């Protein structure tokens, strides 16, 4: 993986039926950085995730990965979505193999079994998706994002439905991904996990960035910032 990648988001706006989901969002991330997008339900976190990864057509602005619009380089992006959507009649292995065939022209199939073993899904590899628990489906979505050595990893609420052991493995994988030059963008309600995993914190409020903090310059914890911004109405320091 190259260690000089950069994600540039400039004046990103996404509207739905004339109503803004996100408005005027701008920031940049370089190799080795991980940003957590934080905010209450309806703040625009998932809208931002889908727009950044190129799955949702933007209304205004630009999203570039290494100077290329993200909708044109999806093979470089791993996306774990919060709302799961699988072919229920396919097996676990068939689904991951199909992803490699479509997204990577048949490459990276050798990564499937190691990830299934790491996240304790190998014994379920021949089981149909319809028979998986929610937690198993969540891990399936995570593996789909990790396959193919992406340069940008976008994880929408990655800890939802995943047990503690796999949350620890995920943290380890993200740290290794960053050390290898990857860029991480996550949305999360779990503030302590975000605090331990990310280098930057973007607070969304009504579809706009209401706070942008580097971990190295934080003078308080994320919970205090969250309370000031969303609960008490104070202006965060």
Write down the pLDDT at residue 45. Answer: 93
CB atoms within 10 A of CB 235: 9
- List, for the chain, all residue ranges whose pLDDT scores fall below the cut of 70: 1-3, 233-237
- Our measurement of the distance from residue 177's CA atom to the centroid of its chain's CA atoms, rounded to an integer in Å, reads 13
Q: What pTM, to 2 d.p., does this model score?
A: 0.93
Cα separation, 8 vs 182, whole angstroms? 14
Write down the pLDDT at residue 87. Answer: 87
Write the pLDDT tens digit of every residue in 129-166.
999 999 999 999 999 999 999 999 999 999 998 999 99
Write down the pLDDT at residue 16. Answer: 83
Q: Is 179 exposed, middle or buried (0-12, 13-18, 19+ CB in 10 A)?
A: exposed
**33 and 27 Cβ atoms separated by less than 8 Å:** no
Write down the pLDDT at residue 114. Answer: 97
**216 and 64 Cβ atoms separated by less than 8 Å:** no
67: left (phi over 0), alpha (psi -120 to 50) or beta: left
């Amino acid at each position: 993986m190259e260690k000089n990648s950069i994600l540039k988001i400039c004046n990103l706006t996404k509207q739905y039926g004339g109503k803004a989901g996100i408005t005027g969002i701008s920031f940049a991330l370089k190799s080795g950085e991980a940003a957590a997008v934080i905010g209450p339900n309806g703040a625009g976190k998932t809208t931002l995730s889908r727009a950044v990864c190129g799955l949702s057509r933007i209304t205004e602005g630009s999203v570039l990965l290494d100077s290329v619009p993200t909708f044109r380089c999806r093979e470089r992006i791993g996306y774990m979505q919060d709302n799961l959507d699988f072919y229920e009649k396919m097996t676990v292995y068939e689904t991951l193999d199909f992803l490699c065939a479509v997204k990577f022209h048949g490459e990276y199939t050798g990564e499937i079994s190691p990830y299934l073993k790491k996240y304790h899904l190998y014994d379920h590899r021949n089981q149909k998706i319809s028979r998986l628990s929610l937690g198993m489906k969540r891990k399936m979505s995570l593996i789909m994002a990790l396959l193919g050595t992406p340069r940008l990893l976008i994880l929408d609420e990655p800890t939802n439905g995943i047990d503690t052991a796999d949350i620890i493995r995920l943290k380890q994988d993200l740290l290794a991904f960053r050390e290898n030059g990857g860029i991480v963008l996550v949305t999360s309600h779990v503030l302590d996990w975000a605090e331990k995993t990310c280098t930057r914190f973007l607070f969304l409020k009504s579809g706009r960035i209401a706070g942008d903090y580097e971990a190295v310059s934080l003078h308080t914890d994320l919970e205090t910032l969250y309370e000031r911004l969303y609960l008490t109405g104070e202006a965060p320091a």
